[in-house]
Structures are given as C-alpha cells and as structure tokens.
C-alpha cells in the first residue's frame, strides 16, 4: 500500500468537501497556483516553510482537520533547511539510503566469504595432516643416559603409524603410546633408532645415544 503524502491528504479533504480550487482560493486568499503545488507536493514552487505551514493550517480550518497529524506527515517527508525551505529527506540523506541498501548485500557477501574461509581452512588443515609425517615422541631413555644392557623405551606416535625400534616392529597401545624393552649387548655408547611410518610412506626418525654399562 502506497504511503499517503501531505498533498494527497489535503486534496482528499478538499474533494470530500466538494470544494474546487477556486472555492478554496477565494476562502483562504491563497493563490490557486500555490494550492495546486501544495496538493502535488511541489514545494520547490512554493514560498518558505513558514508560508507552507500557514497554508496547511488554512486547510485544517476550512475542512475541520486535526493539524497535528498533517504536520507529523510533513516532518516525516520533509526537513526545513537553514534558509527556511522544505527539502525532501531523501535528498538530504542519499548516502544513508545507499548504506541502508548496501547493508543486506554486504551481509550476504560477508557470509559467503566466511563460509569459504572456513571451508578453505578445513581443507588446508586436512591437507597438512595428510602430508606431514607421523608425530613421534621418545620420552625415555634420555640422550647420553647411562643404562644397563636391558633398556626400556617409552614414547608415543600417531595411532595408525608403523613403529620400529632398531628395525624391529613394535606394537602400539590403543592411544598410540609404546613401551618396549630393548637388549643392548655391547657396552659403551649405543645408538637407538626409532622410526614411525605412515601408509603413504612418510616417516619420522629419532635417534638416541645411550651409555651401556654392565
């Protein structure tokens, strides 16, 4: 439904009372040209805002209208400039209208960009997880630790990795950790090699030197 303007309401009141423009001009002493401009919302053709308000009061007097709603509609659609002219609000705030129209478009674009960024981040993370070699931690023994001929190796790796210690396969626990006893027959410095490999052939190798003392 189209919103009624101040001119629409004034013309409707005059026509309802079966007044012609000539009748109203004679009664109010307002030029017919001004009455036509007022009913057509052509405020550029009219004098200053003070006169326009006076014309509206004359309409209210002649046709027994409540002037408060009329002035409320006038304030809704027009604003008085510093020079006392009535200017349509849509001309005063064009940038505001543009921003108002732009907001939904910007929200849609922002949503699309956010979804794309999340998808890209997830895909990149998955690629990183697949491309990197298995994680491998050797908690004990420590580097250059003095040990006996039987040494306990403890650590953790990726759950689905294949683990070997000095080329011998070692079983993993359900959480990917391992604890394995290794026999080192040679006294002195020994190097232990721990290797974790995945199904794609990527490997992580840790070497630990220990001092064996019988």
CATH number at residue 74: 1.10.260.40
What is the pLDDT confidence band of residue 129, given thresholds at 50, 70 and 90? low
Whether 116 maps to a domain, the answer reads no
**Which is more confident, 209 or 201?**
209
Say what the pLDDT of residue 67 is: 92
Q: For position 95, what pLDDT does the model report? A: 45
What element of type H or E holds 101? Answer: helix 94-131
86 and 144 belong to one structural domain: no
> How many angstroms separate the CA atoms of 213 and 184, rounded?
10
Asked if 12 and 88 sit in the same domain, the reply is yes
In the predicted structure, residue 85 carries a pLDDT above the cut 90: no
Tokens in use for 37? Answer: 């401009």
**What's the rounded mean pLDDT across residues 80-107?**
66
**pLDDT given at position 1:** 53
Name the domain boundary from 62, 92, 122: 92
Whether omega before 141 lies within 30 degrees of 0, making that bond cis, reads: yes
Average pLDDT over the chain reads 87
Q: Is 128 a residue whose pLDDT tops 90?
A: no
d(CA 57, CA 63): 10
Q: Across residues 170-178, what is the average pLDDT?
A: 94
Residue 19 C-beta-side C-alpha neighbours within 13 Å: 19
Tell whether 123 is covered by a domain: no
131 occurs within a structural domain:
no
Please tell me whether residues 10 and 70 are part of one structural domain: yes
Q: For 109-136, what is the mean pLDDT?
A: 80
* Mean pLDDT of the region 164-188: 94
Residue 64, in any domain of the structure: yes
Q: Residue 178 belongs to what domain range? A: 136-212
> Can you tell me the distance from the alpha carbon of 30 to that of 171, in angstroms, rounded to the nearest whole number?
104
Within a domain: residue 67? yes
Do residues 10 and 77 both lie within one domain? yes
State the pLDDT at residue 108. 78
The torsion region of residue 8 among left (phi > 0), alpha (psi -120 to 50) and beta comes to alpha
Distance CA 48, CA 83 (A): 8
Task: Supply the CATH number for residue 189's domain.
Answer: 2.60.40.10
**Domains held by the chain: number:** 2
Pairing verdict, β 177-183 and 150-157:
antiparallel
Residue whose structure tokens are 């190097």? 191
- Does the pLDDT of residue 126 top 50, yes or no? yes
Per the model's pLDDT, the better-predicted residue between 98 and 137 turns out to be 137
Is residue 98 over pLDDT 70?
no
- Residue 117, in any domain of the structure: no
pLDDT at 96 over 50: no
Q: pLDDT category, 101, cuts 50, 70, 90?
A: low
* End-to-end alpha carbon distance in the chain: 100
Tokens of 172: 């993993």
43: in domain: yes
Task: Please identify, among 32, 66, 92, the residue that sits at the C-terminal boundary of a domain.
Answer: 92
Arithmetic mean of pLDDT, 28-37: 93
pLDDT, greater one: 130 or 111: 111
Same domain, 66 and 13: yes
């Amino acid at each position: 439904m189209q919103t009624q303007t101040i001119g629409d309401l004034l013309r409707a009141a005059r026509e309802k009372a079966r007044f012609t423009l000539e009748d109203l001009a004679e009664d109010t002493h307002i030029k017919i040209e001004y009455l036509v401009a007022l009913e057509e919302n052509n405020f550029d053709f009219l004098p200053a805002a003070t006169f326009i308000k006076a014309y509206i009061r004359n309409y209210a007097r002649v046709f027994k209208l409540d002037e408060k709603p009329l002035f409320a509609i006038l304030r809704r659609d027009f604003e008085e400039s510093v020079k006392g002219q009535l200017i349509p609000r849509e001309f005063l705030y064009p940038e505001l209208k543009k921003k108002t129209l732009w907001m939904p478009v910007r929200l849609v674009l922002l949503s699309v960009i956010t979804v794309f960024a999340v998808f890209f981040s997830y895909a990149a993370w998955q690629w990183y997880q697949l491309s990197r070699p298995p994680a491998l931690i050797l908690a004990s023994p420590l580097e250059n630790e003095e040990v006996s001929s039987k040494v306990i190796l403890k650590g953790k790796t990726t759950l689905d990795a294949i683990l070997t210690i000095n080329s011998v396969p070692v079983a993993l626990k359900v959480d990917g950790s391992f604890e394995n006893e290794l026999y080192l027959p040679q006294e002195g410095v020994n190097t232990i090699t721990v290797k974790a490999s995945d199904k794609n052939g990527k490997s992580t190798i840790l070497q630990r030197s220990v001092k064996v003392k019988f």
